[in-house]
Amino acid sequence: MTNSTQSDRTTFLPQNNEDATRFLDAFATMSSFGATEAGGIERQAATEEHGQTRSWLAGWLTERGFSVRRDHAGNMFALVELTPGAPYVLAGSHLDSQPRGGRFDGAYGVLAAAHAAERVVSHYRSSGEKAALNIAVVDWFNEEGSRFKPSMMGSAVFTGKLDRDVALGTTDTEGTTVREALTAIGEIGTEAVFGDSESVACYAEIHIEQGKILDKQSVEIGLVPSTWAANKYEISVHGAQAHTGSTEMADRQDALYGAALAVAAVRELADRYELKLHTSCGQLTVYPNSPVVVAREVQMHLDLRSPDDAILAEADDLLRRQFAEIEVKANVRIEKRHAHTWKANYYQGEGVELARTVADDLGLSNIEVQTRAGHDSTNMKDLVPTVMLFIPSVDGISHSELEFTEDKDLCNGVELLAETLFRMSRGALTGSPAQ
């Protein structure tokens, strides 16, 4: 960890009080779209509130000389060409939220990227210096995966991990497709913005930690070297519909009872591995969901995460065996399907070192912190050199209206990202300095 003082700062793009005030004012405005009474936001992917937020940000970017475009998967990009024909440094995150989510998760990273990119562009325009790479900002579509599954949908399409037509044909619980929802709010394009993803040379993302390591240790910046692995499953528990009063207990095939046993088994699995495995179960849908009917089917989603691929594989095998026991005990059938999976792997070391150098130059204390959550950078790092940065999240609370990050940490993150983008635009990760 590095600790320095403000006077030690060395930067090409010094941040002043006016820059910080402008960002905080813009963040307050952005947080008004879909605001909840408890201080969070409700703007799930491709809802009216999501569209309003994008429209506001697109206007802000356009006023500052960015060309705003939507691609055929619902991603929104804002581009500035500094050196004709050169690839782009891309930075961003996501504006969509969980139901009654926090106002910082994802959205901070998009606005931070917009302000950081504006400062980089302003420097080049005022100094006459030639950039090696152009600059672009992105709001990735449906990172959260709450309305449409899987999560990280837009970046998955962009990186070729998910077929675009499959993504656009995905439906929410009301039967609305992604294509229909995006069309309704005017947020879908007809083609890829870059023609192909090779037009992006490198990527950067900044995010609240969604954990409490930085907050507990009073460290200003997290440098992300690697991700936890994750297995996400769609589970169907099949039983038989029957009367809750007249059906003998021994004759019941109660899908909800089987689902309850599965939920308990998943939680106990986490206890077995202590801190090396996180598990969860969510979004239970019961059929027919009547107070006097034994459930015939329950659909739910399970989530296993670990920093160790071997532990995740072992836990998956244990879960399979536990499900077999539950099938016998509850007289039900459990169907398990992989919904979304990624391995524990590393971000490029040169990106981590670049971020460390920038943080040191700015006098910001920093440590390496693994990401347990999935981010769009999880996809992008498999395509181009990628830098992932964290700022503190008070008590590690996230996906909640109680989510909070201090103003000073928000502003530190913007300054760090701006300086990182500037050095990336000069070829720091690509070895292609401007001529």
Whether 222 and 138 share a structural domain: yes
Q: Which of these three, 315, 342, 369, is where a domain ends?
A: 342
Q: Could you write out the DSSP letters of every residue in 60-118?
A: HHHHTT-EEEE-TTS-EEEEE-SSTT--EEEEEE-----TTB-SSTTHHHHHHHHHHHH
What per-residue confidence (pLDDT) applies to 184?
97
Q: Which residue has the higher pLDDT, 433 or 21?
A: 21
Q: Is 409 among the domain residues?
A: yes
76: its two tokens: 């929104």
Pairing outcome for strands 221-223 and 200-208: unpaired
pLDDT in tens, 178-212: 999 999 999 999 999 986 556 999 999 999 999 99
pLDDT in tens, 402-423: 999 999 999 999 999 999 999 9
pLDDT in tens, 65-85: 999 999 999 999 999 999 999
Whether 159 and 112 share a structural domain: yes
User: Domain containing 22 — which CATH number?
Assistant: 3.40.630.10
313-330: buried (b, 16+ CB within 10 Å) or exposed (e) per residue?
eebbeebeebbeebbeeb
Whether 401 and 272 share a structural domain: no
Q: Is 157 among the domain residues?
A: yes
Whether 145 and 266 share a structural domain: no
Whether 77 and 133 share a structural domain: yes
What per-residue confidence (pLDDT) applies to 15?
75
Whether 152 and 194 share a structural domain: yes
What per-residue confidence (pLDDT) applies to 373?
85
Whether 336 and 352 share a structural domain: no
Exposure of 156 in the CB half-sphere (CA atoms within 13 A): 22
* Spatial distance between the Cα atoms of 201 and 250, rounded to a whole number of angstroms: 63
pLDDT at 7 over 50: no
What per-residue confidence (pLDDT) applies to 11?
66
User: Domain containing 268 — which CATH number?
Assistant: 3.30.70.360
Whether 62 and 159 share a structural domain: yes
What per-residue confidence (pLDDT) applies to 434?
54
What per-residue confidence (pLDDT) applies to 222?
98
Whether 371 and 314 share a structural domain: no
Q: Is 432 among the domain residues?
A: no
Strand partners, 145: none
Geometric angle at alpha carbon 405, from 399 and 408, rounded to 5°: 160
Q: Which of these three, 342, 371, 393, is where a domain ends?
A: 342
Number of domains in the chain: 2
**Choice among 55-59, 197-201, 271-275, 367-371 with the minimum mean pLDDT:** 197-201
Q: Which of these three, 326, 342, 358, is where a domain ends?
A: 342
183 φ, ψ (degrees, to nearest 5) = -65, -40
Whether 223 and 242 share a structural domain: no
Q: Is 325 among the domain residues?
A: yes
* Spatial distance between the Cα atoms of 157 and 166, rounded to a whole number of angstroms: 9
What per-residue confidence (pLDDT) applies to 6?
42
Please state the rounded mean pLDDT for residues 260-289: 93
Q: Is 327 among the domain residues?
A: yes
The range of the structural domain enclosing residue 158 comes to 6-227+345-425
Confidence bin at 175 (pLDDT 50/70/90): very high
Q: Is 433 among the domain residues?
A: no
pLDDT at 9 over 80: no
> 113: closest CA among 187, 196, 207?
207
142 φ, ψ (degrees, to nearest 5) = 50, 55
Whether 160 and 257 share a structural domain: no
Q: Is 329 among the domain residues?
A: yes
pLDDT at 116 over 50: yes
Token pair 């005017």: residue = 186
286 φ, ψ (degrees, to nearest 5) = -105, 135
What per-residue confidence (pLDDT) applies to 1?
47
Whether 329 and 364 share a structural domain: no
pLDDT at 237 over 80: yes
pLDDT at 303 over 50: yes
Q: Which H or E element spans position 30?
A: helix 17-30
Q: Is 275 among the domain residues?
A: yes
Q: What percent of the chain has pLDDT over 70?
A: 96
* Spatial distance between the Cα atoms of 411 and 112, rounded to a whole number of angstroms: 9
Q: What is the Cα gyration radius of the chain?
A: 23
Q: Which residue has the higher pLDDT, 11 or 53?
A: 53
